[in-house]
Amino acid sequence: MSTIRKIILILTLFISNTSLFAQKETELIAQNLQTANFSNLLVFWNTEVELTILEQSNQKLSSPQEANQQLQSFFNNKSIVGFEKNAERTVGNTVYITGKLIAGLSKYNLTLLLQETKKGLRIVSVRVS
């Protein structure tokens, strides 16, 4: 096999493996939201997170613990029972996840913005509307 073909093969395998790893992380995040498992979700928060929930004004950047606690409080206050992922889109090192939070007869839109870092995907922004 020629050297160029070997290089192309290696690059193809590397790119597919990287996107597969990112896909597994997004599925873990979605699963943690579906099960309201905030202790497992904590590892996915970036060091600073922008969090916007319903009518609250844009908040200053929050720490991972604060963002996790605020989202957990929202889940508890609105009796969220699940999360349905609608879409996932990757643009460069950014991943967007959208879905619905389910609370009885009510549904809330959730948008997550994730960035690829050396430690993997990290949630940098959350919007609930």
Which residues is 120 bridged to in the sheet?
Answer: 117
pTM: 0.78
pLDDT above 80: residue 33: yes
Please say if the pLDDT value at position 129 is more than 50: yes
Domain ranges of the chain: 3-128
Q: Look at residue 104 in the predicted model and tell me its pLDDT.
A: 85
Q: Which CATH number fits domain 3-128: 3.40.50.300, 3.10.20.740, 3.10.450.50, 3.40.190.10?
A: 3.10.450.50
Per DSSP, what are the bridge partners of residue 121? 116
